[in-house]
Amino acid sequence: MVTDRKPETIGKFRKRVFSGVQPSGGLTLGNYLGAVKRFVQMQNDNYETIYCVVDLHAITVWQDPSVLRQNTRELAAFFIASGLDPEKSILFNQSAVSEHAQLGWIFNCVARMGWMQRMTQFKDKAGKNAQNASLGLFAYPALMAADILAYHATHVPVGDDQKQHLELTRDIAIKFNHDYEVDFFPVTEPVIGGPAARVMSLRDGTKKMSKSDPSDLSRINMTDSSDVISNKIRKAKTDPQALPSEPEGLKDRAEAENLVSIYAALGDESVDEVLSEIGGKQFSEFKPMLVERATEVLSPISSEMERIMRDLPELDKVLNNGANKAKSIAKPILQKTFDIIGVR
């Protein structure tokens, strides 16, 4: 990786960040503020940063192959357009580095059935049809652990909905180290928090912003034009009260808290700082401020995504280069894992 920074170490391990996002299409403001914006911030700190389009996770449910390829490239373009620099960070798609799947099998043999059965996301996604869900959907937290530990990542920026899976990653690392009497895998730390770490629906502040919501007014898509963004914010659900001057005043005001948190996150401010500025304003005054900030930040990203997607050979070259860099880290770690467990 080309960088002028020397990552710090934590014990014997380099200070290294890994995170991945599924190429499921329909990119929203939640993907940007909840994940990618933090990825960009962390690449400029004293970390070695590795980011992945996790296409193998996507196929735990059936995918149209051509749509999956398109979504994979679009997500990579989104990363780059948002400020992720392939010269500072490693960016690649998961299936291009076979070490993920190989280490994933080893971790299938380390993880316990009881651990997997406690994963609430499987229950949520499989619903009443758990017996018809793929084995991959049930076991994918072990592959997620492999994604992280194939690079000896010490930190992972994750959303609240992935905290349980990261705890499983930690359990797998601890059990592997204990079973083989080694100190080989780090116990990875989550990086959670900040304004708008979880972006909520514009129509219901108690629900997460989602591409699957039937109402397009509930979300800001990363491909929305400035006019569309403006319209959605102006129609966002609010309450009749003025905005408070302190965070305590947002209690039980889910929609107000969501819009204030979005405004804060887009401007790299804390909620306290924002409320000291806008406290006492009505939403009729605040919404135009949010429109201005949102379009100022998001419109250039949308335009740059379009530009990148017009040159797919160059984008594929970036991903291939990233995969080669990722493999140069993961391959020796996997080989040492083989040595420890007595195979190959």
Residue numbers annotated as active site:
125, 208, 211
Beta bridge partners of 191: 157
Residue carrying the six token digits 């420890």: 340
Secondary structure E strands in 158-220? 189-191
User: Could you tell me how many residues make up the chain?
Assistant: 344
Alpha-carbon distance of 299 to 173, in angstroms, equals 41
Alpha-carbon distance of 293 to 177, in angstroms, equals 48
Alpha-carbon distance of 138 to 191, in angstroms, equals 25
Percentages helix, strand, coil for the chain (3-state, rounded to 5) are: 60, 10, 35
| Alpha-carbon distance values, 290 to 186, 222, 233, 254, 287 (Å) | 41, 16, 8, 17, 5
